[in-house]
């Protein structure tokens, strides 16, 4: 699997599991783009997911 970036994260509607797996990997690899999670509109559908909220908390960001 290649290093996740904001351009390679799966964004298929309804594929929250895949997107969150990629975001977790980006977090683990300290990808600089994860700081944009709270402001990028394409991540809005994930805001209600507890896993996304947990990731945001670990990043010390507000969704």
Compute CA distances 58 → 1, 2, 14, 15, 54, whole Å. Answer: 24, 23, 24, 22, 6
* pLDDT 10s digits, 5-50: 555 555 565 688 988 998 999 999 999 888 888 888 888 889 899 9
Rounded Cα–Cα distance for residues 17 and 51 (Å): 9
What was the pLDDT predicted at 7?
52
The pLDDT of residue 4 is above 80: no
Per-residue pLDDT band for 1 (boundaries 50, 70, 90) equals very low
């Amino acid at each position: 699997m290649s290093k996740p970036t904001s351009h390679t994260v799966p964004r298929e509607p309804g594929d929250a599991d895949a997107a969150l797996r990629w975001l977790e990997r980006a977090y683990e690899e300290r990808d600089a783009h994860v700081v944009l999670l709270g402001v990028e509109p394409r991540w809005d559908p994930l805001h209600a997911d507890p896993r996304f909220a947990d990731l945001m908390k670990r990043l010390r960001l507000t969704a």
